[in-house]
Chain A
Amino acid sequence: MLGRKPRVGLFVTCLVDLLRPSIGFAAVRLLEKAGCVVEVPQSQTCCGQPAFNSGDRRDTAALARQTIAAFEEVDYLVAPSGSCAGMIRKHYPTLFPEGSDDRFRAEALAQRSYELVSFLVDVMGVGDLDADYPRVVTYHDSCSGLRELEIRSQPRQLLAKVKGLKVTEMKDAEVCCGFGGTFCVKYPEISNDMVRKKIANVTASGAEVLLAGDLGCLMNMAGKLSREGSRIEVRHVAEVLAGETGGPPIGGGDPG
Chain B
Amino acid sequence: METRSSEFKENATRALHDAELQRALENVPRGFIQRRLAARDRLPEFEALRDEARAIKDHTLAHLDLYLERYEAKVRASGGHVHFAADGAEAKRIVIEIARRLGARSVTKGKSMVGEEIELNEALSAAGIQPVETDLGEYIIQLRGEHPSHIIAPAVHLTRDQVEADFRAAHAHLPRERNLDEAAKLVHEARLVLREKFIGADLGITGANFLVAETGTSIIVTNEGNGDLTQILPKAHLVLTTIDKLVPTLEDVATLLRLLARSATGQDMSCYTTFSTGPRRPDDPDGPEEYHVILLDNGRSAILGTPFQPMLRCIRCGACLNHCPVYQAVGGHAYGWVYQGPMGAVLTPSLIGLDKAGQLPNASTFCGRCEEVCPMKIPLPGMMRHWREREFERHLQPAAARYGLKLWAFLAERPALYRLATRLGNRALRLWSRGRPRMSMVPLAGGWTRFRDFPTPEGATFMDQWQGRRSNG
Contact = CB atoms under 8 A, between A and B. Distances in A.
A186 B447 contact: yes
Contacts of B366: 53, 143-144, 180-181, 183
Contacts of A185: 445, 447-448
Interface stretch (A29-37, A101-109, A123-131, A191-199): A191-199
A223 B451 CA distance: 8
B392 A147 contact: no
A176 B325 contact: yes
A66 interface: yes
B405 A42 contact: no
A54 B397 contact: yes
Contacts of A6: none
A200 interface: no
B217 to A, nearest CB: 37
Report which residue of A12, A46, A253 has the largest number of chain B beta carbons within 10 angstroms of its beta carbon: A46
Contacts of B450: 188, 192
A55 B440 contact: no
Contact of A53 (B385, B406, B463, B465): B385
Nearest to A54: B405
Contact of A226 (B364, B388, B438): B438
Given A53-B385, A56-B409, A20 B326 contact: no
B415 A66 contact: yes
Interface in A62-92: 62-63, 66
Interface string A211-228: 000000001101110110
A223 B454 contact: yes
Contacts, number: 209
Given A19-B458, A21-B461, A54-B405, A40 B452 contact: no
Given A175-B325, A251-B455, A55 B461 contact: no
B389 interface: yes
Interface residues of B, number: 65
Contact of A195 (B401, B452, B458, B463): B452
Contacts of B413: 45, 59, 62-63, 66
A19 B455 contact: yes
B466 interface: yes
A251 B401 contact: no
A165 to B, nearest CB: 23
B131 to A, nearest CB: 34
Nearest to A83: B366
B224 to A, nearest CB: 31
Nearest to A13: B462
A223 B448 contact: yes
A45 B412 contact: yes
Contacts of B326: 187, 190, 194
Interface stretch (B9-17, B76-84, B115-123): B9-17
Contacts of A53: 366, 385, 388
A58 B311 CA distance: 26
B405 A56 contact: yes
Contacts of B408: 50-51
A57 interface: yes
A143 B371 CA distance: 12
A166 B451 CA distance: 30
A189 interface: yes
A132 interface: no
Contacts of B465: 21, 25
A100 B367 CA distance: 30
B365 interface: yes
B225 interface: no
Interface string B18-38: 000000000000000000000
Contacts of A22: 458
B130 interface: no
A227 B457 contact: no
B364 A21 contact: no
A57 B389 contact: yes
A155 interface: no
B301 interface: no
A50 B364 CA distance: 14
B325 A194 contact: yes
Nearest to B384: A53
B52 interface: no
A100 B12 CA distance: 43
A221 to B, nearest CB: 9
B329 interface: yes
Given A12-B463, A54-B392, A178-B325, A183 B385 contact: no
A190 B330 contact: yes
Contacts of A12: 462-463
Nearest to A40: B466
B390 interface: yes
Contacts of A222: 438, 453, 455
A190 B422 contact: no
Interface in A216-256: 219-220, 222-224, 226-227, 247-248, 250-254, 256
B393 interface: yes
A148 interface: yes
Contacts of A62: 409, 413
A23 to B, nearest CB: 8
Contacts of A14: 412, 422
A194 B452 CA distance: 12
B437 interface: yes
A188 B447 contact: yes
Given A63-B409, A178-B325, 10 more contacts: A12-B462, A18-B461, A53-B388, A57-B392, A144-B368, A189-B16, A189-B451, A190-B16, A252-B438, A252-B455
Interface of B: 9, 12-13, 16, 325-326, 329-330, 362-369, 371-372, 385, 387-393, 397, 401, 405-406, 408-409, 411-413, 415, 418, 422, 425-426, 429, 436-440, 445, 447-448, 450-463, 465-466
26 contacts: A12-B462, A16-B462, A18-B422, A50-B405, A50-B408, A51-B405, A54-B392, A63-B412, A143-B368, A180-B364, A182-B401, A186-B362, A187-B9, A187-B363, A190-B16, A192-B452, A194-B326, A223-B451, A223-B452, A226-B453, A227-B440, A251-B453, A252-B437, A252-B455, A256-B439, A256-B440
